Structure 1
Amino acid sequence: MLLMESIDFNSSLGFIQFYKQLLEMQNNKKAKRTKLTKEQIDVLQQAFTLFDTDKSGSIDESELRNAMKALGFNASKEEVQKMVEQIDRDGSGTIEFQEFVEMMKKKMLEDKNVEVEIEKAFNYFDDDNEGAIDLEKLRRVAADLGEECDEQTLKDMIYAADLDQDGKVSKDEFMMVMRKMKLI
């Protein structure tokens, strides 16, 4: 199926769907996992100690959610429950420090990788490094992908993501739209 055929351009989500599919096409390889720095582990130790309110050496779901929030990661109650289930090796319903480090490492690296990939997608459109995606760039990408789009469809795609209505999608607008779509 062609990329453009799978997108509903009559909705304001068409532009976002286009970006999401481009992002998937650009890099299907998993990003390399790296180790956390000593400083990052120290921050995690401080957070773990701070949120281990009963000083038991482990934190429960409520404590974990608060710790993640303090570290800048918003996770729903359901996400935290799922994380605990996935990482809790002994089935105690709590997370020990090493389990916490492994879980946070995964979350930190995933979030970083998603942002990097979204930036790559933006840069694919912004081939002249102007810092914005305009109608001409969108037309070029559609042509690169072998897709035919009428002028109004392309204009609608720009309009859907152009928050300040200047006729271009800036990098900040692009990132804000991705955050809104919970891709970052």
Structure 2
Amino acid sequence: EEVLDDPCPGFELDFNEFFDFMLVLRHRDGFLRSEVAAFKTIFERFDDDRSGEISALELSDLMRFLGYTANLDEMRRLVLEVDRNESGQLDLREFLNLMRL
């Protein structure tokens, strides 16, 4: 709803509205603004070295905080799955992609 607020009711989007919607959706990976903010806060909390990326070990701690149990090998596999820039770690955007899985 927050993305689809339309000053002209009718449930129809013109091309420009659709394009804007897709840009917002892509930027937020399908999450609401409040969800992105919450995930960003958690991400930054577990980014121990403040590099802007989290390692598999940091991800493991983060996932435990969220209530998930997974071993380090599984975390490494997840990092490889969503690590688009092949840095071996996850930036915030890649982390949001992981949260979508």
Give your verdict on TM over 0.5. yes
* Aligned-residue RMSD, C-alpha: 1.6
SS at match of 1:63: helix
**Partner of residue 79, structure 2:** 84
Distance in 2 (alpha carbons) for counterparts of 1:104 and 1:65: 13
Distance in 1 (alpha carbons) for counterparts of 2:46 and 2:92: 11
**Partner of residue 52, structure 2:** 57
Superposition TM-score, scaled by structure 1 size: 0.37
- The percent of aligned pairs where both chains have the same amino acid is 30
Aligned length: 73
**Partner of residue 26, structure 2:** none
One-letter identity of the residue aligned with 1:93: G
Q: Which runs of 5+ in 2 are unaligned?
A: 1-28
Distance in 1 (alpha carbons) for counterparts of 2:46 and 2:70: 16
Distance in 2 (alpha carbons) for counterparts of 1:70 and 1:101: 16
Q: Which runs of 5+ in 1 are unaligned?
A: 1-33, 107-184
SS at match of 1:91: coil
**Partner of residue 69, structure 1:** 64
After superposition, residues 30-179 of structure 1 pair within 5 angstroms as: 35-106=30-101
Write out the 4+ residue segments of structure 1 that deviate beyond 6 Å after TM superposition: none
Alpha-carbon displacement from aligned partner over 1:32-87 (angstroms, at most 9, x marks no partner): xx932322222210111001111111011110111111112222212111101111
Superposition TM-score, scaled by structure 2 size: 0.65
Query: Which of the pair has more CA radius of gyration?
Result: 1
One-letter identity of the residue aligned with 1:35: G
